[in-house]
Structure 1
């Protein structure tokens, strides 16, 4: 049985961030067209709150179970 080392993979972080930005842009545009600017502001606020809570949750999990890496 051959033991092959895994090859290094490319970093697609920038491409993924651009794709997230484009998708968020058109989704917010559709929300704006259908419901108005107030709905876009509330959606942005809700996304910000969700990201903040996710960050706090991940930080608390890191304190409880530190990773080896």
Structure 2
């Protein structure tokens, strides 16, 4: 005996983009604070520049694919 489900309309998933961006900001804030205390402001500046470069490369690659 085969059981078939009736097609139902699905509710759209909630958009958690803003909440995720706030969470990323909070986490990066305390991580940069710990790095600043341990290694100094120069390390934070270098790490920030590196992250900026990697995000820019990712954006460029995603635009090339789409």
Unaligned runs of 5+ in 1: 63-69
Distance 1:53 1:27 in 2: 22
Structure (1 or 2) with the larger CA radius of gyration? 2
Distance 2:42 2:50 in 1: 12
Query: What is the TM-score with the length of structure 2 in the denominator?
Result: 0.88
- Give aligned pairs, total: 62
Distance 1:21 1:57 in 2: 23
**1:44 matched to 2:44:** no
Unaligned runs of 5+ in 2: none
**Misfit runs of 4+, over 3 Å:** none
Query: What is the TM-score with the length of structure 1 in the denominator?
Result: 0.84
